[in-house]
Amino acid sequence: MNDQALIPHLFRTEYRNIVSVLCYRFGIAHIEEAEDLVSDTFLAATEQWSLDGVPENPRAWLYAVAKNKTKNHIKRDALFEQKLAVEIKYNAEKSEAFDIDLSQKNIADSQLAMMFTVCNPVNSPESQIALALNLLCGFGSPEIADAFLTNKEVIYKRLQRAKEKLKEAHIKIQQPTLPEIAERLDTVMTTLYLLFSEGYYSTSQNTTLRKDLCLEAMRLNALLIENATTNRPSANALLALMCFHASRFDARLTADGEAILYQEQDDTLWDKNLIAQGTHFLNMASTGPAVTKYHLEAGIAYWHTQKENTDEKWQNILSLYNELLILEYSPVAALNRTFALAKTNGKAEAIREAEKLKLTDNPFYYSLLGSLYSDLDNGKAIQHFEAALAITNSPTDKVTLARNIERLKT
């Protein structure tokens, strides 16, 4: 990696680590100070390294400067002095009292604690995702705005309001207790699931950003599994689901960013290592008695990594969708089920089931109907593709839909 790209890379990977440790140490009330100290650290790195060159160990340099800036801030700040007065009294050396532990273990502990803090229901799901991207993943307002297809001022205000709500609720940053895990793990996993979905299903044209969102969701999910208290079957199932989906990431778009339908994907582009990892985590998920939506969705995603177009494959997918809809009904899941239904019972039955859903504000509803009607009634297929084209916001989907319409008209 060249020197010009190093600082942005380190900002992404180390900003979140140092902020998490400082917040874990001093509490959510001092989140702005933590962010300012880390920003100052990177500003110092930009200035110093441009003059003297990149140090031999850039990460160690950042950690040392962050520690020193934190100690200097504490000495100057009366609120910190008051907050830590008791601790100071019992330490002979003030510098030792303010030591900042940036070991890998404490970073992991801090990120886990921050995860349960950020994924707090005092904030909306959208705000939880934005906070996770900002504090746990190191994304700035412009990047988050790109992911949400909005402007950075909206995201900045959303982040500020979300932080204030956490402060007002006096949310503590601490390792989750077993009762808290039982109460909050579902919320945490929902946030990670939505974070991954923002990347995987995003209509943003920034392919690198979309991949990064998915990888960050997977990294945070792995933190849950690496910790004995949060290593639950459902967490393994969610990571399996993410691995299976991510394995097909490079096969879903052309070089021009146009969507490639599943049946037309080049399976040589599927990541076999991720498929193997997903299979491992899905096996680990089978140890518990409960079956969650993540188990069922991971099972569906697993079968989609099997390229062979067999009856067994589509029967299994249909069966898993049936279980998923009983467990937790979703119109989108019901719509996705009709694709498997077409493979097992034929297009006519799938069309009847899909049209019952009447998801007239969903472009995928019309797109799927267009695909199902193709070669059965091309006139209706064109009507549905045109309806999808009229309401979709995705530039890549617009290209694909226009191409389908043109093909059917010729």
What pLDDT digit, counting tens, does each position of 81-103 carry? 565 554 444 343 444 455 789 99
Tokens matching residue 169 = 């609720």
| Cα–Cα distance, 128 to 189 (Å, whole number) | 11
Strand partners, 253: 259
How much is the CA Rg of the chain, to the nearest whole Å? 24
* Pure H helices in 346-409: 347-357, 363-373, 378-391, 395-409
Q: Which residue has the tokens 């694709």?
A: 339
**What residue spans define the domains of the chain?**
1-101, 103-231, 359-410
Residue-level pLDDT at 95: 41
Average pLDDT rounded to a whole number, residues 323-342:
96
Lowest mean pLDDT, pick from 42-46, 220-224, 390-394: 390-394
Residue-level pLDDT at 7: 82
Alpha-carbon separation of residue 10 from 3, 179, 328 (angstroms): 11, 36, 41
Average pLDDT rounded to a whole number, residues 255-269:
84
| Cα–Cα distance, 341 to 50 (Å, whole number) | 60
3-class SS shares of the chain: helix, strand, coil, % to 5: 75, 0, 25
Phi (first) and psi of residue 209, to 5 degrees: -60, -45
In tens, the pLDDT along 160-215 reads: 999 999 999 999 899 999 998 998 899 999 999 989 998 888 766 667 668 888 99
Helix 141-148 with 152-168: angle, nearest 10 deg: 110
